[in-house]
Structure 1
Amino acid sequence: MNSLFLVYLILEDSYNRITTKNACNYLRGIVDQNVTICLRRKRRTMMKQRQHSQKLILGGEVHNSTASSIAYMEEKVWDKIDKVAINTLLIPIYWELIEPQPNQFDFSLIDSHLENAAEKKIDVIFLWFGLWKNGLSTYVPEWIKTDPKYFRIEDSDGNKMNSYSPLCQDVIAQAHSAFAAICDNLGSHPLRAFIRMVQIENEIGSLGTSRDHSSAAEKVYQMALPQEIRNLYPGAKQWSEVPFGDEVFMAYHYAAAIQDYAKIARKRLALPLFTNVWLKKPDRRPGEYPSGGAVSTTWQVWKVIASQLDFIAPDIYEEEIKPIIAEYGNDQPLLIPETRIDKRYISNLFYAFGQGAIGYSPFGIEDLLTNDTSQDYRFLSQLGLAKDAFDSSDTLPHLNQGYRIIAALEPLLQDQEAQIFSFKKEGAQNQIVYENGQDRWAVKLFSRDKMINSAGLIIKHKEYYYLTGANFALDLQAQQGSNPLGILSLEEGVLQDGQWRTNRRLNGDEAYFPFIGEDFKILRMRLYSY
């Protein structure tokens, strides 16, 4: 017989940091399939996160090279983007194309992106592909690549990596200069109102080696620890004495470069700034994922050294996302700028927004318009990413409906009086017990292989419960010792401008177990006891 666990998620001021994370870690280790979650939730945490964004980001990121050509971008994206229910497009801007010669800048791509965004009434998040992208330095201009004075990371055998060292101040100065010119352009652009945020670099870190062993790096590695690192690791005097020392060494220098980037932007732009992170996998060593990125082992270093950033955003391609969202959504805004685009896990968006996310963005959004899933997988498969994550087959109608539902529910998601609970099936779990005051019921999670993963949102606002998501049902049950619960009313409908419109009233067999299957919808329910 399964045990019954009671976990209190108390997201209130002084308890927020500890309780949320501990509760999530506790849930992660549960093998039993019945879990009770008792909600005592204030809205302050979510509201603080969402102050960074005027509206929720219902996003999509284009492939890495799509935005390198005005004609290609217009053909593959802008001419068809009306078919996707996004309000924000994440678009790379490339150092090699913006500064093809030293101090000679070409902003025509940026101009085109903003002109098309304005025409389509879609906001833009620009992604600066500058000095580092996915652990490599492939987007730097040719005049940088061919100049040997800009030195690269070396492994312990002296082999040069295809990535410039974060200790090479000359190349960092060139990247900062280019970024300053871009920020000047964006800050004065007549269409700047369509720019939501700027991402600084992309999935920073060192691939192929856990640490830079170039002569310049070795010299610094032998020096005394910076004061900020001594504060974080009391008792350590040398880098070799710091836990995960190679990663922390790289993180310190990458974060310092990003901090200077952010200072440059702050003088020119009134926009949120962030960088993203390639997450650490349990079976991978530093260097097999970008060493020095803002993963769990270096998170505190990044928070201290790159304090000018508004937040650090996780790129999530994993099936199990609860621990990731708990970590990166704790004490900072949660944006997911890259995530899987497959139909099975598109329901993750309900869980993410229910946990306070300000935005969600599947990667390769143009694949939804072509069903071309071959562009990036040959490379990505070498990085431990599942091919299924990039299968866009039949995703579009579900993403569109999910985004429309989130847009409709946004007033409730932003309402401080609303009580919000989101859930997602992970592992063998097939039931969660929801408890809120006298209301208690089981949420049955019944997705199986090849079905859309069970996930959803329950929002209580005044006397109503709003239910949405995929592949779950409610089994009402009374709290022990109280009167039984019944459904006073159950309606399927839509929210328009904050007003509920009933499509049909559900009763009889269709109200015994309120149910949402593969077609995302909103149910509104009132309960009573008898």
Structure 2
Amino acid sequence: MLTCQAQNHPQLKKQGTAVQLTVKGKPFLVLGGELGNSSASSLPYMKDIWATVKQMHLNTVLTPVYWELLEPAEGKFDFTLVDSIIYQARRHDLHLVLLWFGAWKNSMSCYAPAWVKKDQQRFPRAQKQDGSGLEILSAFSHNNLTADAKAFRILMKHVHEIDAAYSTVIMVQVENEIGMLTEAREHTAAADAAFNDQVPAALLDHLNKHKEEIVPELKQHWGANGYLTKGTWEQVFGKGLATDELFQAWYYTTYTNTVAREGKAEYPLPMFVNTALNYKNVKPGEYPSAGPLPHLMDIWQAAAPAIDILSPDFYNPYFKHYNDLYTRRNNPLFIPEIRFEPSDGAKAFYAIGHYNGIGFSPFSIESTDKPAEEPVAKSYEVLRQLTPVILAYQGTGKIDGALLDTTNTKQDIPAGKYVLSVAHDGTLGWSGIPRAQWGEAGGIIIQTGEDEFIVAGTGIVITFATTDKTTPIAGILQADEGEYVNGEWAAGRRLNGDQTHQGRHIRIPMGTWGIQRVKLYRYK
């Protein structure tokens, strides 16, 4: 069980309206990258990864832990890979987020041990309506849950023993992209019996208690049948795939909560789950049904108190839309997985600035031949410098972010007596870059005083207006570029000439990344 050694373990704490991760008692911003699924399965393969991620200014690596390699024979655990990765990360001054590839990885049970996969009577699979099996362990099996939770608990006990004094490991993901394919729910005998039974009172009590707060998608579905507080799943929620998905979600969630709870009993690190999003708007089962999706947030929050964060994985162009959905219901934003592409650099600024994000992590971060030249590496270098300031201002209403592209070219940010109009640098027309090639631009704006701002990012132009009617014109008093060195501002050039277009705007051009400190004034 947990000892006093780990009382200062990484944890989540509230600051104003934000939730922050604290490591060794101090707020921490995850500038992360997730390894490819198979990278951490081989020590020789891992040896060159550390230099790559250091060049990209990461402070955290998200790495899988594979149940099949951790427990290759039942009851016999091999920590060689886990220990090596923890020790190497520590040696390179990097933190880790562990991704438990247990019963499910991208819906499937591909990382379950062979002794589980081959004994289908003891460890049953999910089944389709026609009775055929799936490469998915059933969430309705006590044996599946017990074996998974036991392995996870032993993992967390071991991590506590070797790492509690160091906090190399700072968070843990429980399972990976849970969800049913190719049907909305399981059709084993146990699942069908549960489906025809009463809806658990714990769920209905939660919905009734939070009736005016639950996400509108769920409220509408429940309300269509009269907000019943007793009955079978089809009596309460009606017939159809949406009800099948709600049912499956409840049992995925209670399963996952048990696994997380067992792990936290040994080492209570922050724990999260991640989601494969239904961005193509297809039916449950055509996307991974019943995972921690935005319309199911209340199910997951009701049944999984041991899970601290529900996280979106991004392989779609709807970045703002899904972040808006995942910051409902007091859910902190942590992005553990996003396609590794040039737009990540701008998106990292926006997620951290606008949503008070805990962190950001492109997938397969090691798969680059030019790590220092990646846009996200350049953004991370700026964010690394700004981290103490960002963490001080998150949750205060004094920090925001901008994300711009060829469609959304401008964004207004109110800040005290000022309104900052942030536009894509391409709108100036000076670069000569065709509109189709602009790429995404992004930045963070922090108001450090009534008339003082820190502006950081790439490809942005900012003009200023004021709501002060007595002095209705806003001007730039001074603008300095520079950098933060060991948390202290080191000013570079004063930019009050051509770089500000003679006081008309603040600009960080496309293809450049920078930080500027700006003072404004107002006049008639």
Q: Normalized against structure 2, the TM-score is what?
A: 0.84
Matched, 1:44 2:2: no
Matched, 1:506 2:475: no
> Secondary structure in 2 aligned to 1:201?
strand
Q: Distance in 2 between matches of 1:515 and 1:426?
A: 16
- Name the aligned partner's letter for residue 483 of structure 1: P
Q: Distance in 2 between matches of 1:282 and 1:270?
A: 36
- Residues 345 and 452 of structure 1 are in contact (CA less than 8 Å); yes or no, is this contact kept in structure 2? no
Matched, 1:465 2:453: yes
Residue correspondence of structure 1 range 326-475 to structure 2 within 5 A: 326-330=324-328, 331-354=330-353, 355-368=355-368, 370=369, 396-416=373-393, 419-425=398-404, 428-446=407-425, 448-462=435-449, 463-475=451-463
How far is 1:215 from its partner?
1.8
Q: Distance in 2 between matches of 1:219 and 1:315?
A: 33
- Name the aligned partner's letter for residue 430 of structure 1: T
Residue correspondence of structure 1 range 486-525 to structure 2 within 5 A: 486-511=475-500, 512-517=504-509, 518-525=511-518
More divergent stretch after superposition (464-473 vs 480-489) = 480-489
Matched, 1:54 2:31: no
Q: Which residue, 303, 318, 323 being the options, matches 1:305?
A: 303
Q: Distance in 2 between matches of 1:312 and 1:395?
A: 31
Residue correspondence of structure 1 range 41-440 to structure 2 within 5 A: 44-46=16-18, 48-51=19-22, 54-75=27-48, 77-149=49-121, 150-190=123-163, 193-231=167-205, 232=207, 233=222, 234-235=227-228, 237-240=231-234, 241-242=236-237, 244-330=242-328, 331-354=330-353, 355-368=355-368, 370=369, 396-416=373-393, 419-425=398-404, 428-440=407-419
- Structure 2 unaligned runs (5+)? 1-13, 208-221, 427-434
- Residues 342 and 395 of structure 1 are in contact (CA less than 8 Å); yes or no, is this contact kept in structure 2? no
Q: Relative to 1, partners in 2 of residues 1:82 and 1:345: Cα closer, same or farther, differing over 3 Å?
A: closer
Q: Relative to 1, partners in 2 of residues 1:194 and 1:480: Cα closer, same or farther, differing over 3 Å?
A: closer
1:166-218: CA deviations, max 9, x gaps?
00111111111111211121111157521111111001011111111122211
- Residues 59 and 88 of structure 1 are in contact (CA less than 8 Å); yes or no, is this contact kept in structure 2? yes
How far is 1:395 from its partner?
7.8
Q: Distance in 2 between matches of 1:270 and 1:189?
A: 15
Q: Distance in 2 between matches of 1:272 and 1:478?
A: 42
> Secondary structure in 2 aligned to 1:406?
helix
Q: Which runs of 4+ in 1 moved over 6 A?
A: none
1:60-107: CA deviations, max 9, x gaps?
1000000011111114x1354332210111110101111111101111
- Name the aligned partner's letter for residue 239 of structure 1: W
- Name the aligned partner's letter for residue 349 of structure 2: F
Q: What is the count of residue pairs matched by the alignment? A: 464
Q: Relative to 1, partners in 2 of residues 1:505 and 1:176: Cα closer, same or farther, differing over 3 Å?
A: same
- Residues 230 and 237 of structure 1 are in contact (CA less than 8 Å); yes or no, is this contact kept in structure 2? no
- Structure 1 unaligned runs (5+)? 1-41, 372-393
Q: Distance in 2 between matches of 1:61 and 1:351?
A: 19
- Name the aligned partner's letter for residue 90 of structure 1: L
- Residues 418 and 461 of structure 1 are in contact (CA less than 8 Å); yes or no, is this contact kept in structure 2? no
How far is 1:337 from its partner?
0.5
More divergent stretch after superposition (415-424 vs 257-266) = 415-424
Q: Distance in 1 between matches of 2:51 and 2:487?
A: 31
- Name the aligned partner's letter for residue 32 of structure 2: G
How far is 1:429 from its partner?
2.5
Q: Normalized against structure 1, the TM-score is what?
A: 0.83
> Secondary structure in 2 aligned to 1:414?
helix
Q: Distance in 1 between matches of 2:457 and 2:51?
A: 30
- Residues 156 and 264 of structure 2 are in contact (CA less than 8 Å); yes or no, is this contact kept in structure 1? no
- Residues 459 and 508 of structure 2 are in contact (CA less than 8 Å); yes or no, is this contact kept in structure 1? yes
> Secondary structure in 2 aligned to 1:216?
helix
How far is 1:478 from its partner?
4.3
How far is 1:43 from its partner?
6.2
Question: Percent of aligned pairs with the same residue?
Answer: 30
> Secondary structure in 2 aligned to 1:346?
helix
Equivalence for 2:11: none
- Residues 425 and 508 of structure 2 are in contact (CA less than 8 Å); yes or no, is this contact kept in structure 1? no
More divergent stretch after superposition (229-238 vs 119-128) = 229-238
More divergent stretch after superposition (333-342 vs 495-504) = 495-504
- Name the aligned partner's letter for residue 385 of structure 2: A
Q: Distance in 2 between matches of 1:443 and 1:54?
A: 28
How far is 1:426 from its partner?
5.9
- Name the aligned partner's letter for residue 36 of structure 2: H
- Residues 126 and 195 of structure 1 are in contact (CA less than 8 Å); yes or no, is this contact kept in structure 2? yes
- Residues 405 and 439 of structure 2 are in contact (CA less than 8 Å); yes or no, is this contact kept in structure 1? no
How far is 1:248 from its partner?
0.9
Q: Distance in 1 between matches of 2:154 and 2:412?
A: 54
Q: Relative to 1, partners in 2 of residues 1:147 and 1:239: Cα closer, same or farther, differing over 3 Å?
A: same
Q: Distance in 2 between matches of 1:515 and 1:71?
A: 45
Q: Relative to 1, partners in 2 of residues 1:103 and 1:337: Cα closer, same or farther, differing over 3 Å?
A: same
> Secondary structure in 2 aligned to 1:415?
helix
